[in-house]
A and B are shown apart, each in its own frame.
Chain A
Amino acid sequence: MNDQSNNVIEVENLVTYYGDREILKGVSLDVRDGEIMVIMGGSGSGKSTLLRHLMALETKTSGTMRILGHDIDSLSQREFFDLRKKMGVAFQNGALFSSMTISENVMLPLSEHTDLDTMTMEIMTRMKLEVVELGGFENLMPAELSGGMIKRAAFARAIVMDPKILFCDEPSAGLDPVVSSALDDLILLLRDAMQMSIVVVTHELESAFKIADRITVLDRGHILMVGTVDEVKNSTNERVFNLLNRVPEADNLGMNEYLQRLTGVEVKEESVL
């Protein structure tokens, strides 16, 4: 049984609709202090929506969510802003501000939330850029960086306030294996050196198995399982097996079911072909 006082995020029975479509169907999970929780799932499984909820960017239909011990529904605006300062996020495309230099991007949370003088902020910014191995690139614009460097700059901005929780959306997406592996090492470094709790959404299996302390497998808005890397790898759940072994969904369907899903018409006999 997990000790609840050790959890930085607790989600219970989270339900979300976009219009008439139910995206998350009663999701419950917790993220423990200092762990890397990887959320995996196929396209359309709801993992990005779940991440947006964890970052408090979406309004849920029902359910409860506690972040760092605070029920986010009962926070005042000021408390909510204070909570935000303890969260960092590295978006899939970096989401750097294109009109600012890398240094200005990383410094922005400091200039908005602290009364530090410019020199101190510049030193802190340079330190964070060194952590992500972008020292010397302070004055470049985001358009002048490669994909991997943009992601690292996004990490630097995400950690500049030393957050308790770091969210990463598809950190390896669109990167070559070497750069992707370097980013995985960076995530591990942030957990170990800065004791952050990190939530990573990814569908890159290799990356997930390398960095995860625990993995949550999502499928069509449901959690299929939560477990360690070994538990997920050895799962007997058919859908988890299919996801790990990259078995296309259509291969698992019977002919009738497949045609029914394609056409929306109920097929009763296998006499079509």
Chain B
Amino acid sequence: MSELNQQNRFIRLCERVGKSTISGVEEIGNGGVLIGECFYWLIYGPRIKQPVRLSAIFQQMMEIGINAIPIIALLIASIGTMLAIQGIHTLRIFGAESRVTIGIAFSIVREFAPLIIGIVIAGRSGSALAARIGTMKINQEIDALKVMGVNPVRYLVVPAMIAMVIMVPALTIFGDIIGLTAAGLYVNADLGISMAAFFHDIVDILTVDDLIHGLGKSVLFAILIAVIGVVNGAGVQGGADGVGKATTRSVVQAISAIVMTDMVFAFVATR
């Protein structure tokens, strides 16, 4: 009897794993189709009088980018200062604290600025996108758009996707500047290195490749955040509870995807 129960439990476990795998593959497939559809509407939309509206893109850029500036400035300035504190503390052991600039420059431009901004935008705008699309789905607003002859991907998704792809790298450049400035201020206060000398070192150390490394990542993060937000929003089942679950799911998935992509990107880019 207990052997039979164990067998049943094993079968149920296999079933659950199988269902989760299928649903995961399905979501990845949906994400791929969504990216394809976005390109389709961008290129083919104007020919069938369904262009992507610039006003909608600007509105999304405001929401995703401009409104996020204060929180991003605060976080990235804290990260820059924290890196300076830790860097000086560690290098002081070897009496090499004046070389802290190298670590700060590479860490912020190649790693922390795109990563922190990706995570903030995933939590702030990716979740908002999932919630918006999920709510519109359960309120039949998506159906209303379809019946009006307005394609929901063209009207809702493409502007958000374009705005993400423009604003996340733009915020990354902004984050680079704020992070380095905050670190420079701490280095100036602690080691007495002037801001001019600090930025002179930064310019000497960093190459265009380092900047492209950070910006390339941020473009990938932007696409991931948008796709994960939309796929979760579009998959909402039930009512408000479903929207809440989809929103949480989209944040967790987006942050996980960002961190893993960051690792793979760093590995590939440093070979």
> By CB atoms of chain A within 10 A, which of B48, B132, B148 has the most?
B148
A92 to B136, CA, bound (A): 14
Question: In B25-72, which residues have CB < 8 Å from any A CB?
Answer: 48-50
- CB of B143 within 8 A of CB of A81, answer no
Q: Which residues of A contact B150 (CB under 8 A)?
A: 108-109, 112
- CB of B140 within 8 A of CB of A84, answer no
A84 to B135, CA, bound (A): 23
B144-166: CB near A (< 8 Å → 1, else 0) gives 10111110000100000000000
Pairs A-B, 4 closest by C-beta atoms? A84-B149, A95-B140, A95-B144, A89-B147
- CB of A57 within 8 A of CB of B147, answer yes
A82-104: CB near B (< 8 Å → 1, else 0) gives 10110111011101111100000
Cβ of B15 within 8 Å of any chain A Cβ, yes or no, is no
Q: Which residues of B contact A99 (CB under 8 A)?
A: 132
- Please judge, given known A-B contacts A77-B48, A78-B48, A91-B144, whether A98 and B149 are in contact too, CB under 8 Å: no
Query: Which of A78, A88, A91 sits near B140, CB closer than 8 Å?
Result: A91
Per DSSP, are chain A's interface residues mostly helix, strand or loop, or mixed?
mixed
A143 to B46, CA, bound (A): 34
- CB of B144 within 8 A of CB of A57, answer no
Cβ of B141 within 8 Å of any chain A Cβ, yes or no, is yes
Query: What are 23 A-B interface contacts by the 8 Å CB criterion?
Result: A52-B143, A55-B143, A55-B147, A56-B147, A57-B143, A57-B147, A78-B48, A84-B147, A85-B148, A87-B147, A91-B140, A91-B144, A92-B140, A95-B139, A95-B140, A95-B143, A97-B144, A98-B139, A108-B148, A112-B150, A112-B155, A113-B149, A167-B147
- CB of B149 within 8 A of CB of A95, answer no
B residues contacting A by CB (< 8 A) are 48-50, 132, 135-136, 139-141, 143-144, 146-150, 155
A81 to B44, CA, bound (A): 14
Kindly report which residue of chain B lies nearest to residue A83, judged by CB atoms.
B149
In the assembled complex, the CB of B223 is this many whole angstroms from the nearest CB of chain A, namely: 24
Question: In A16-67, which residues have CB < 8 Å from any B CB?
Answer: 52, 55-57
Number of interface residues of A (CB under 8 A): 27
Kindly report which residue of chain A lies nearest to residue B142, judged by CB atoms.
A95
In the assembled complex, the CB of B150 is this many whole angstroms from the nearest CB of chain A, namely: 5
A113 to B148, CA, bound (A): 9
- CB of A81 within 8 A of CB of B149, answer yes
Q: Which residues of B contact A77 (CB under 8 A)?
A: 48
A89 to B147, CA, bound (A): 7
Q: Which residues of B contact A52 (CB under 8 A)?
A: 143
Q: Which residues of A contact B132 (CB under 8 A)?
A: 99
A88 to B147, CA, bound (A): 7
- Please judge, given known A-B contacts A77-B48, A95-B141, A98-B139, whether A57 and B146 are in contact too, CB under 8 Å: yes
Query: Which of A84, A92, A93 sits near B148, CB closer than 8 Å?
Result: A84
A157 to B139, CA, bound (A): 16
Q: Which residues of A contact B135 (CB under 8 A)?
A: 98
A87 to B149, CA, bound (A): 9
Q: Which residues of B contact A96 (CB under 8 A)?
A: 141
- Please judge, given known A-B contacts A93-B140, A97-B141, whether A81 and B147 are in contact too, CB under 8 Å: no
A81 to B136, CA, bound (A): 21
Kindly report which residue of chain A lies nearest to residue B51, judged by CB atoms.
A112
A84 to B146, CA, bound (A): 8
Q: Which residues of B contact A91 (CB under 8 A)?
A: 140, 143-144
- Please judge, given known A-B contacts A81-B48, A95-B141, whether A112 and B148 are in contact too, CB under 8 Å: yes
A120 to B143, CA, bound (A): 27
Query: Which of B49, B139, B146, B147 sits near A93, CB closer than 8 Å?
Result: B139
Q: Which residues of A contact B149 (CB under 8 A)?
A: 81-82, 84-85, 109, 112-113
